Amino acid sequence: MLNDDGRMIDDGDTSRTLKSKRHYEYDNKGHKISCTDTLPNGGISFKMSTRYDKAGNKIEQLQTIYDEKGESETKFTYSYDGKSDLTEMGVVQGNGSAKALYIYSYEGYDTHDNWLKQTGYTRGAAIILTERVVEYW
């Protein structure tokens, strides 16, 4: 189901046996700020909340999973440079222990100041390379 702005607010399993229903909420700028998965019995299996900075960049996301073992939280934090390019993503478990830190660097920018090559690192090693071509109309 879509809201008046055309954004998804409810999404469910379309099979004959509903496994969960997902509900989204947005802020007044159109950013997705929460997501909740509800089971057919009314229980919640997943929650996610997201915060943004004034530039619209995602700066924090908290994900909670509910299962037979209880509740498990993971917090993601994001940092950006002056061009709003992602420079760091941190992952912290609910108990406060750091799980991972990813650092991003950029090479090459097009005439619209969009990056062309991004490299992601963790523990000093490059783990992902993304190259892109941006087409303008």
- pLDDT tens column, 107-125: 999 999 999 999 999 999 9
7-35 average pLDDT score: 79
Q: What type of residue sits at position 97?
A: S
Q: Is 58 a member of any domain?
A: no
Q: Which two tokens stand for residue 80?
A: 């950006």
Q: Is 57 a member of any domain?
A: no
- Of the chain, the percentage scoring pLDDT greater than 70 comes to 89
Q: Which of 106, 66, 73, 113 is nearest to 88 (CA)?
A: 106
pTM given for the model: 0.81
- Of the chain, the percentage scoring pLDDT greater than 90 comes to 73
pLDDT at 95: 81
Contact indicator for 49, 24 with CB cutoff of 8 Å: no
DSSP letter for each residue of 27-51 = -TTS-EEEEEEE-TTS-EEEEEEEE
Count up the domains in the chain and report the number.
2
- pLDDT tens column, 85-95: 999 999 998 88
Query: Are 130 and 76 found together in one domain?
Result: yes
Query: Are 37 and 81 found together in one domain?
Result: no
Note down the domain range covering 87.
Answer: 63-137
Query: Are 41 and 85 found together in one domain?
Result: no
Q: Which of 108, 55, 60 is nearest to 84 (CA)?
A: 55
Q: Which of 15, 33, 52 is the last residue of a domain?
A: 52
Q: Is 26 a member of any domain?
A: yes
